[in-house]
Chain A
Amino acid sequence: MPESYVPAVLIVDDEEMVLTALRSFLQLETSFRVLTTTSPAGALDVIRKDSVDVIVADFMMPAMDGIEFLKRARELRPHATRILLTGYADVQNAIRAINEAGLYHYLEKPWDNDRLLLVIRNGVERSSLVNELDSRISALEAANVELFEMRKRLIKAFL
């Protein structure tokens, strides 16, 4: 990740007051780009257009619940870290979120800022490592293809 890179955190919650509280906190404590929206459909548009490192979603939202939203977000940005912030904490939803949306972390409302910050920072780190791993695998695959071609040329030249 280049030094000038600024990680982006996308937060989706149908309550504007939750978005403002989270945005104010993250802007005070981090240099992350903080994107917020009350609409899951709008958030999917953001994910399509913008590079996002961490996605924090409320569970209970009109039209689309947080797990369904994170499931769709995963299809669009598989490397983004997905976090569910919920006032309806229960084991069934946690299991569903982990299985269906590949959840990284599950936080309950009312949240603790220190805990939230730790989870988001770790999420950014995780996303960065996954991206780096992905680019190294791509580089290895490209090198492998090049080596294979070189081997073919050598065989052709000497045999």
Chain B
Amino acid sequence: MTATEAVHGRDAMADAVNAAKMATLGALAAGVAHELNTPMGALNSNHDVLKRALARLQHILADEVVEPSELNEVRRVVAAIHDVLQVNDLAVARMVELVNSLRTFGRPDRALIDRVDLRETLESALTLLAHRTRDRITVVRELEPIPPVQCYPQEIGQVVMNLLVNAIQAIDGAGTVTVRTRALESAVQIDVEDTGIGIPEEFLGRIFEPGFTTKGSRVGMGLGLLLTRQVVERHRGRIGVRSTSGKGSLFTVSLPHTLDSGGVP
């Protein structure tokens, strides 16, 4: 492969990943909006409560004397202020986390290689998917300390998102998704395991093939898994799957610590 071909190949993959990322963000938009709605609703109400509380205190202090009969009212107002400020801290923290996750996942810096802690990538994706897991899926985190890996963050972010979306889609009703990180000698490993419907044995060898999909059984995302494998292999990594029909699947991705000259163009 010439240098020009390599650059074109790299651009085509970056475009494909970007298109997949935008499609994922679009699909997640309504859920993320709902996730923002709860802290925003609390902040909106609390802002109003603080204005009302201030008006009460100003009224009591208008004559610059607090009568003993007014002390209980002052205590009530101060208690309300205390409670809503505590909620505001939590609400703001949650909104910041969501917006940071959106920025991490959605930023268009596709040409930049960076060193990334994949535990943060997993957490960002899980934050964006929280509305899909909260009511029915338990997320178990077994995240061992791992060194940062050199990669294209947006592409690896899409790999992680694809695996998590597949795991969630594979679970009909209640279930568990387990995410693991593990430090290997010169690589890191991510596992995404679900207790979903699994993949029939006859399909296991074909799920990374172009155009393969099993829409009827809601396993995989067709282009999603093909692209996932291509991105991982471009990073000189490996992807594998083990699955038992009716019991669930385990996807394993390992990525080397560094991209040497033979790695991603």
Residues of A within 8 A of B (CB): 15, 17-18, 20-25, 27-29, 60-62, 87-88, 109-111, 113
Contact = CB atoms under 8 A, between A and B. Distances in A.
A28 B52 contact: yes
B46 interface: yes
A21 B77 contact: no
B237 interface: no
B37 A27 contact: no
Contacts of B79: 27
A17 B39 contact: yes
Overall SS of chain A's interface: helix
A18 B49 contact: no
B37 A109 contact: yes
Contact of A21 (B46, B52, B56, B136): B46
Contact of B34 (A18, A21, A22, A87): A87
Nearest to B38: A15
Given A28-B77, A62-B134, A113-B48, A20 B38 contact: no
Contacts of A17: 38-39, 42, 87, 90-91
7 contacts: A17-B39, A17-B87, A20-B42, A21-B46, A28-B49, A111-B41, A111-B44
Interface of B: 34, 37-42, 44-46, 48-49, 52-53, 56, 76-77, 79-80, 83-84, 86-87, 90-91, 134-136
A110 B34 contact: no
Contact of A27 (B48, B80, B86): B80
Contact of A111 (B39, B45, B86, B134): B45
A38 to B, nearest CB: 13
B34 A88 contact: yes
B50 to A, nearest CB: 10
A117 B175 CA distance: 39
Contacts of B83: 20, 23-24
A125 B205 CA distance: 66
B90 A62 contact: no
Contacts of B38: 15, 17-18, 87, 109
B49 A25 contact: yes
B80 A28 contact: yes
Nearest to B52: A28
A29 B52 contact: yes
B41 A24 contact: no
Contacts of B86: 20
Contacts of B37: 87, 109-110
Contacts of A87: 34, 37-38, 41
A60 B41 CA distance: 15
B135 A21 contact: no
Contact of A24 (B80, B90, B136): B80
